Structure 1
Amino acid sequence: MYSLRQWWKFAKQINHQYNVSILRMLLENIVLYCFRGVGPRYYFEAQIWQPQLNWHDKLSYSDSRGYKTLLAELNPPAYRKISQHKVVEKAVLQLNGIPVAPFIGFFHPSRGIEHNGQTLNNRQTLHKLLSAHNGQRIVFKLVEGWGGHGMSVIIPLEVNHQLQIKDVKLNTFSAFDVWFSQLTVPQDGLVLEEYVEQHSQMARLNPDSVNTLRVWVKLVNNIPQIVGTIVRIGRAGSLVDNASQGGFIARVVQDTGIIDQAMSCDIVPVVYQTHPDSGIKLSGTEIPFWHESMSLAKRALLAFPEMKFTGLDIAITADGPLVIELNLEPDKVTARNFGKSLKQLLDVNAN
């Protein structure tokens, strides 16, 4: 339950920063809750309080159930599992000639397999695989993880004929046997990928994380269209750029691929002119391979049967963009960066 104290806190903040009447926000919130089920939190998160929105625009917003209904129309639930499983998703993308982070293996006690078809299901086979990648960064991911949860990056190193494992995040070294004894393997296994070395322009935003594009794409009359794009940027010391791990976002001018404004992912965002840790200027930064990235996003959506909408993550290397993963139910709050309600953005009958 959203407390009156929380509502008052955010209303005062918006009143101070944007000079929007608190009484106006209260009346709007009451009307939207009564007629559209929009609660106080989403009223602030989606920035429905903006004065430039007329009542037709404001009433096009709805609660989470409305978003679920839209998604059910766009992406039939029976087909969503194809993209939720990272091994299957990667296979479908590669089959369609779409570049992805190179697959090393799938570690699982019964189904485990390397990229070359060799078994990868126990301590011995994993030791052999990691020994063959001496000195290389390897990413371990949950098969159906999200938000960077459960991800780790290691570097296997042969030291005096013994395999050592460096945990990149913790900057610690362990003998392989010690590391393996502490490795948590979920029931559905782990995906192993090569670490993506990002383009120098993207690394400039934050060198510790792979900073990705989150691109919303929808299918209209069988033609993919870009709904909008943001850049996700990590914080110093973080391996991931996800908001749930402390990252923030930057809005992009869609026609040019130039960063317009960076901000936190708070309910009432904090605007950044520079990176809050490094001080690097963000506004005006040009995203490399911009048009190639937009083209890749469209192709990726077309690779999955019956799918009409996705929010996908794209990393950009020195050689061009590649797909990290698709999200068939991306966080609805991202829509606030595209200036319209979810209904307005995702209506396939609208251009």
Structure 2
Amino acid sequence: MYNKYILFMNMTKKEDYMKTKDFYFDLPEELIAQDPLADRSGSRLLILNKDTGKVEHKIFKNVKEYLRAGDCLVLNNTKVIPARLIGEREGTGAKVELLLLKRMENDVWETLVKPGKKARTGSRIVFGNGLLVGEIMDIVEEGNRYVKFYYDGIFEEILDQLGQMPLPPYITHQLQDKNRYQTVYAKYEGSAAAPTAGLHFTKELLEEIEKMGVVIAHVTLHVGLGTFRPVKVEDVTNHHMHSEYFQVFPDEAEKINAAKRAGNRVICVGTTSCRTVESAADENGFVKPGSGDTDIFIYPGYQFKVLDCLITNFHLPESTLLMLVSALAGKEQVMAAYEEAVKERYRFFSFGDAMLIL
């Protein structure tokens, strides 16, 4: 188990605290991408130089122009499960929506239940006319629930039959192909949301990148509420991240460490890959293999140990993801780049366009 990382700024004056509202920007609703593009790598790519603030506009497949032999590209190979279940409260028939967040043990999951007020300990929810039954075991922090499931057969097969892909609430269109909410390299099931920066890669593009001499390393972080929970406090430092499970295998850690030793760049694809390598890093900036839970919260003032560059999507205002990006490239430069992206009509959020921070 790794130590949990929370960065606290050394601030002396109340007015010096970093405010959540400092990360707000106006986003026209029509810029929220509702559907994935037909060509994954055909999305737009904004290049931001973190040293100069210079911005360039490209197409995602042009990302190859900014990579070089010896770079290590770090991908999060988690796989989204059909984690959204719609059922009925036993006895009343009232509709209940349940989102699987984290597998615990003995068929117990940490979940988010809607509506949550009536999800009391001992109450039962029936899915698929009894194919699956969930019993509320306990109330977790911030209203989440531990739910024990009862079923005959294999849980994953029942979930595949009854569950829906857990698209974010700002996506209102029905997803025609559920594989478009998976990366082409998704492998280990466990996420309640996709690591969306990786959705831009095709297998062909990754093969071209490898042929250039770029090393591709895979890590796993099962995306849960920690990544997307809104910041509800005024002072950023008072926000607490929900923990998420991650794993780094020894051979993958060595790929990253070899690049560091050679003086080459580590380029993370997505904030989840970034949070994984930073959680697994030792004091010298090398990645330790292993697994555990992390609630690392990265915001301006954080000193990156492993990551040099980042490929990421455009994030929600006042989100922890926007704060992480600002920690890498500076809040003023990032907010200016976002203003430029809005002006240039970039597509935002999960199915939107991408940004490369160099």
Larger radius of gyration: 1
TM-score scaled by structure 1? 0.27
TM-score scaled by structure 2? 0.27
Pick 1 or 2: higher relative contact order, CA cutoff 8 A, min separation 6. Answer: 2
